[in-house]
Chain A
Amino acid sequence: MTALGTDAGTAELAVRCSGLVKRYGDVLAVNGLDLEVRRGECFGLLGPNGAGKTTTIEILEGLVAHDAGDVEVLGSRWGSGDRRLRERLGIQLQETQLHEKLTVFETLRLFRSFYRRGRAIDDVLAVVELTSKAHSRVGALSGGQRQRLAVGCALVGAPDLLFLDEPTTGLDPQSRRQLWSLLERYRADGGTILLTTHYMDEAQTLCDRVAVVDQGRVIALGTPRELIASLGAANVVAFAVEDGPGDLSRAELEALPGVHGVSIEDGLTQLIASEVHVTVPALLRMVAERRGRLSQLSTHGATLEDVFVRLTGRHLRDV
């Protein structure tokens, strides 16, 4: 399929969507979302649950119809020649339960049969580190193994573009790192990845660029480094003061040396600070002068989570 009117710029794009809108009844799941994913990059949609990430990725995957906007995937639009497009996509959905009674090998063989071209099954088994489990039933796999199998099913057609929806949700740290390293290998071989996640560390580790999504739209876009830099400083000082005298006003806090931003949430105050060793003593002095008592004090390097808090006043994993 040839897309009319493509210029040199869009030819480099794996995914392009603009003004995307999706309604479920009265709920606006996606509210005018724009997105461009370049070939060869790993792009992350970062946002809390219910931000519209899954709806967005499933529209891009051609599984959900959108109400308005324009979607182009690998230079094609959904609606004609879909099978040809699907040959080039690898998709992992949230919460798919594969056949419990089949073995890992049989599952991959089934998925392989849907693609005209693709990878050898033994090859995929090795990539997703399931060679030793090839003849185990899917029902007997651990969570991490199942998730790697799900990714294996997405890789078996040797896709140009990989869609992953919350690939490591619910996995233990070791399984997450295992999955990340296999995705990095896919990327190193020239593949493009679009993933959704609500883990800032996942986005920070894997993604070249991140779109922060909230309430169905992109509220910030850039490399993880750029997004963190947009906070104005690289550190966060978080503290809480016990009830009673010693309340500190936002203006007073902003006036502390080295502070670039203040956010207050559920009694926990976060100061975005360029120099922790200057800000913390000043803060302690101020609290002592008010005869207040600190119940919590911690500092960390700024993360995408802090970017999200700064942008929305909420945490990524708010329930």
Chain B
Amino acid sequence: MSDRAALPALAELTRTRVLEVFREPEALFWMFVFPILMAVALGIAFPSRTSDLAIVGLVEGPGAARIARLLRASPEIDLRSFEPGQADRALRRADVQLVIEAGEPPVYRYDPARPESRLARRLVDDVLQRGAGRRDVWTVREQTVTSAGSRYVDWLIPGLLGMTIMSTGLWGVGFTIVQARGRRLLKRLTATPMRRGEYLLAHALARLFFLVFEGGVLLLLARLLFDVPMHGSVLLIIAFAVLGALSFSALGLLVASRARTIEAVSGMLNLVMLPMWILSGVFFASSNFPAVLQPFIQALPLTALNDALRAVMLEGAGIREVGREALLLAGWFLTCFAAALRLFRWL
């Protein structure tokens, strides 16, 4: 295919968008490298086999030696000794989960708001009670199972994919549009017979093109580095990635539909993204938020996208189980695109 002739306008506009991004090293960094760095960093911070050891601080003093001996015998406890006065600082900095002061009985200091601290307290108390002579009434029989996809990193990767789709969609579209408006390029294009809808659609199509790389690299890396499972259909994941990219591109268009300056659109994009970063279950589950917020959270496009990606990847959900999410995303796309087309300021 010769490069000398122009393609149809929609294809030509999309090609222009793609070329521009490829020639913008910063854009490539945020689009491809950043999500991968984030996945790797978080994967390391929350390793697949999280250290199950309870990290416990023991304050030096009378009786401490006996406690130390008992606790060191436990394979589940990592014991550290502290001078008096040092231990509280370690507790505040979350270096230790629990601080023990020897005595009859010993004193446990910990923050009950931290689940790992509550767990450490139970472990330590068990060991010390037994050491002090407590007899257990029975010994339970244990059956352990490892369910694939139950680690934090498994849970995280679909969320990161959703977040990447959101931020590249919003930034990639919103930023470019406002820049073109500020440079009067939009006005110049309006002066041609170009169909305006095609210009806007080209932004969404270019997003889909980049999605192949963004999403593909992230999922591949998740597979190779962390062995993150894919229980459901890859096609369904792709379908949701496309639907998500379209929705967020349309939302980006809407946010950018009237702004004239990069500063203005940056503020608005952050305002739109921040609630979804926090509420939509990227880094922690959205079910942590109070019930009164749930209807709002469930209506957010990133919540729908993340829930659907997780359900398909981790639970092997089919289209029926994620139909609600698909409809919600399609609704966001249509509403935002129609509103953007109507509100858009070309001059």
| Bound Cα distance A113, B198 (Å) | 12
CB contact list, A104-145 vs B, under 8 A = 106, 109-116, 121-122
Contact B184 A121 (CB under 8 A): no
Q: Is the beta-carbon distance between B192 and A101 smaller than 8 angstroms?
A: no
In-complex Cβ contact of A99 among B11, B16, B190 (8 A): B16
- Taking the complex as formed, is A95 at the interface, i.e. its CB lies under 8 A from any CB of chain B? yes
Q: Which residues of A contact B72 (CB under 8 A)?
A: none
Is the Cβ of B12 less than 8 Å from the Cβ of A61?
no
**Of A64, A109, A114, which contacts B194 at CB under 8 A?**
A114
User: Which of B2-10, B119-127, B207-215, B230-238 is the interface stretch?
Assistant: B2-10
Complex contacts, B188 vs chain A, CB 8 Å? 91, 93, 96, 98, 153
Q: Contact check: which of A91, A113, A122 meets B9 at CB < 8 Å?
A: A113
Interface residues of A in 215-256 (CB under 8 A from B): none
**Residues A102 and B192 in contact in the complex (CB < 8 Å), given A93-B184, A93-B187:** no
Least distance between A155 CB and chain B CB atoms (Å): 12
Q: Which residues of B contact A114 (CB under 8 A)?
A: 9, 189, 192-194
Q: Measured between alpha carbons, how far is A93 from B347 in the docked complex, in Å?
A: 12
> Which residue of chain B lies nearest to A163 when distances are taken between CB atoms in the complex?
B191
What residues on B are CB-neighbors of A61 within 8 Å? 191
Main secondary structure on B side of the interface with A:
loop
User: Size range of the interface on B?
Assistant: 20 to 34
The segment from B17-25, B47-55, B80-88, B220-228 found at the interface with A is B17-25
By beta carbon, the residue of chain B nearest A139 is B23
Among B4, B11, B191: residue with most chain A CB under 10 A: B191
Q: Is A187 an interface residue (CB 8 A)?
A: no
- Are the CB atoms of B16 and A106 closer together than 8 Å? yes
Structural contact, B193 and A96, CB atoms closer than 8 A: no
What A residues does B23 contact at CB under 8 A?
A: 101
Known contacts A110-B16, A113-B8, A63 near B190 by CB under 8 Å: yes
Question: Size band of the A side of the interface?
Answer: 20 to 34
Q: Is A290 an interface position by the 8 A CB rule? A: no
A157 on interface, CB distance cutoff 8 Å: yes
Enumerate 7 A-B pairs (CB-CB under 8 Å) in ascending A order.
Answer: A62-B191, A91-B188, A93-B184, A96-B188, A97-B183, A97-B185, A114-B192
Interface membership of chain B positions 1-43, coded 1 if the CB is closer than 8 angstroms to chain A and 0 otherwise: 0011111110111001001100110000000000000000000
Q: A93-B188, A97-B183 are in contact. Are A87 and B8 (CB under 8 A)?
A: no
Assess whether B184 is in contact with A95, with CB atoms less than 8 Å apart.
Answer: yes
A204-B131 Cα distance, complex, nearest whole Å: 107
Is A185 interfacial (CB-CB < 8 Å)? Answer: no
Q: Which of A63, A116, A122 contacts B347 (CB 8 A)?
A: A63
A86–B191 Cα gap in the complex (Å)?
7
Looking at the complex, which one of B3, B24, B192 makes contact with A111 (CB distance below 8 Å)? B192
> Using a CB–CB distance below 8 Å, which chain A residues touch chain B?
61-64, 83-84, 86-87, 89, 91, 93, 95-99, 101-102, 106, 109-116, 121-122, 153, 157
Chain A residue, CB-CB nearest to B13: A110
A230 CB → nearest B CB, Å:
35
| Cβ B191 vs Cβ A157 within 8 A | no
From B19, B190, B192, contact of A106 by CB (8 A):
B19
**B12 partner, pick from A91, A93, A109, A116, beta carbons under 8 A:** A109
Measured between beta carbons, the chain A residues less than 8 angstroms from B16 are 99, 102, 106, 110
A9 to B195, CA, bound (A): 33
Query: In the complex, what residues of A have CB within 8 A of residue B6's CB?
Result: 109-110, 112-113, 121
- Known: A84-B193, A99-B20, A109-B3; 13 extra A-B contacts, CB below 8 A, are A61-B191, A63-B190, A83-B195, A86-B193, A87-B193, A95-B184, A97-B184, A101-B24, A109-B12, A114-B192, A121-B4, A157-B192, A157-B193
With a CB–CB cut-off of 8 A, which chain B residues contact A64? 347
Q: Is the CB of B19 within 8 A of A101?
A: yes
Q: How far is the CA of A89 from the CA of B190 in the complex (A)?
A: 12
A56 to chain B, nearest CB (A): 15
Q: If the complex has contacts A86-B193, A97-B184, A97-B185, are A110 and B24 also in contact, measured as CB distance less than 8 A?
A: no
Tell me if B191 and A91 are in contact (CB < 8 A): yes
Q: Which residue of A has the minimal Cβ distance to B189? A: A114
> Per a CB cutoff under 8 Å, which of B4, B19, B189 touches A122?
B4
